[in-house]
A and B are shown apart, each in its own frame.
Chain A
Amino acid sequence: MSSIGTGYDLSASQFSPDGRVFQVEYAMKAVENSGTAVALRGKDGVVFAVEKLVTSKLYEAGANRRIFNIDTHIGMAVAGLLADSRQIVETARTEASNYRAEYGGNIPVKYLADRVAMYKHAYTLYSAVRPFGCSVALGSYDEIDGPQLYMVDPSGVSFGYLGCAMGKARQAAKTEMEKLKLKDMTCLELIKEAAKIIYIVHDEVKDKHFELELSWVGATTQGRHQKVSQEVFAEVERYAKSALEDDSDSGNDDM
């Protein structure tokens, strides 16, 4: 799967003979080691669900959250090195604040995704710095442009998505997502499916304990990005757990 880039992988300012920048690829490997994060875009909003792996029972619940608020109307879910992603969050918040100071309004998420992508890309050009070992998904909703979802990876490339997944089980998550008709689903339907996907792809053997983080931004939240309320969270968790038990596509069945 991964080739050894001996000698051409020491800095981001070097190409390998077959035209790869190994440091960037190694950064993507760092993202692949983290807990899965999925984001889904539907008819009237965007939802985020993150499998936050908890490595010790001694940790306080709710610590080291992986979904952040950028300004009031944009949510950012991250995968990869958490400390690296915190810097991206700060940068994104500063960009949104500068946009508001200059133009007097909410920054469009497409524009912010571009700015974040440019910033991450800059760190892939020099040997003095290393690329960011994190992927971020940005989502927002407004009346005029509707829901929008973008993902930026460590190389600084950003795409708009209907549904995206990052982290260790992203292939499995993508397979589950492709079964859904995302365009016609409402936020409440989406968040249930997103939580279900996280429960399905979670590996009980390798990673025992995890905390589910859910958030959304859409017409139901009047365009504000926020954590899902206690009642909705309980309902969604129940749905996800029960769906996991009777879901015959979960792959745990004997063939």
Chain B
Amino acid sequence: MVQPSLTVRKEGVGRCTKVHRNFNLEKLRNGYLFTEIARRELQHLEKYPNAKVISLGIGDTTQPIPDNISMSMANYARALATAEGYRGYGAEQGNKELRKAIAETHYKDVLVKESEVFVSDGSQCDIARLLLVLGSNVTVAAQDPSFPAYIDSSVIVGQAGDLEDEVGKYCNIEYLECGPGNNFFPDLKGTSRTDIIFFCSPNNPTGHAATQNQLEQLVEFARNNGSIIIFDSAYAAYVTDGCPRSIYEIPGAREVAIEISSFSKFSGFTGVRLGWTVVPEELLFSSGFPVINDFNRIICTCFNGASNIAQAGGLACLSSEGLEAVHSVVDYYKENTKILIDTLASLGIKVYGGINAPYVWAHFPGRKSWDVFAEILEKTHITTVPGSGFGPGGEEYIRISGFGHRESILEASRRLEALF
């Protein structure tokens, strides 16, 4: 995740074309958050080459993929060398068996059809494709703080308006503040209508999983306003306390919500690349045109399907053996997260999240999050993520991710205890 070297040679320096830079891209003030975190970590490593840096910043999975799953992928790959096993282009919407398995495994108690499931190479890509479908003339709301791709992609597509530097907010985006004061659920009564509402639960970065009641309010709000919810359920497997794992558990959601999800944090597929989006048939634009038709058109034109090998892996993840194996890895990360919560709580630091998500949201009242980030990195060689990277509502917070080898988590806890 290092930026390419872009020094333009002085002699015979490139002559400019007459193509204007896309002004939407000019509105992005900094690089993508996680790119910046990676850069800082590298810089730190250069400064302290002997330090054992522990990465609890970018939520990157660390534990190996269970054997039966990687074996399925290996077998599929080997079969590509045979006449019977060779496959060319797959359906852009995904392999039928996999779509069916996703519908039956993740949505077994709610009404989601195989034909409504679109397999992809991951949520970050799906978010961009969804915004391409929706176009630049829609208005967007996102939680504050939230996963930066929602807002950044919205800026890129031209929905966000200009950045108001002093407050760090884009003027056309509705920021739904989520904090301890409102139980990490926005006050919808005070929220303006937007066409699209991004909502992530369990939440990255706060770790809060919205309750049934909260999601009912959200669906009602969307219905009353004729809005579309884009519900990010990438961390559903981490839910511990019975909170809804899918927006479709809420009656009426099929007519107002799209759901995106991913195998990344579920099966360690962060590098393998696999995810999916559900677009219900009943979801209609104001003209009555089905959203699914437009999404399908984008998938067929701007995409060519997820890798067939990754899809074979996904199918193996959803077998009963696969699910069992995958859930043990999820449990491993959940235990990591618990260790971190306990450590920070014992230090008297107010922590949130961590119960339904692999993220701990730690509060450092009165302090700038980038300063706390820098202090932790400098003094304990631990990378975290400053809360303000997720939006102005994240200021004073630090996100610590529970992905890592157990020894690293334990060592990190020791170092944090020493610092604080």
Instruction: Tell whether A and B belong to one assembly.
Output: no
Q: Which residues of A contact B (CB under 8 A)?
A: none
Q: Which residues of B contact A (CB under 8 A)?
A: none
